[in-house]
Amino acid sequence: MRVITGTARGRILETLKGDDVRPTTDKVKEAIFSAIQFELEGRHFLDLFAGCGQMGIEALSRGCATATFIDKSKASVKVIERNLAVTNLKQLSRVINADSVNFIKNTAQEFDIVFLDPPYNKGLLQEVMPLVAQRMKKTGVIICESALNDEILQKYYNFTLDRQRTYGKIKVSIYRHEDYI
Other C-beta atoms within 10 Å of 79: how many? 22
Strand, coil or helix: 39 = helix
pLDDT, position 19: 57
Measured distance CA(36)–CA(103) in Å, rounded: 25
pLDDT, position 20: 63
Mean pLDDT by 10 residues, the chain (181 residues): 94 83 87 96 97 97 98 96 98 98 96 95 93 96 95 95 95 96 85
**CATH of segment(s) 28-180:** 3.40.50.150
Give the H or E element holding residue 73. Answer: none
Q: List C-alpha distances in Å: 178 to 19, 115, 155, 161, 171.
A: 37, 18, 9, 9, 21
Strand, coil or helix: 65 = coil
Pairing relation of β-strands 44-48 and 111-116? Answer: parallel
pLDDT, position 181: 85
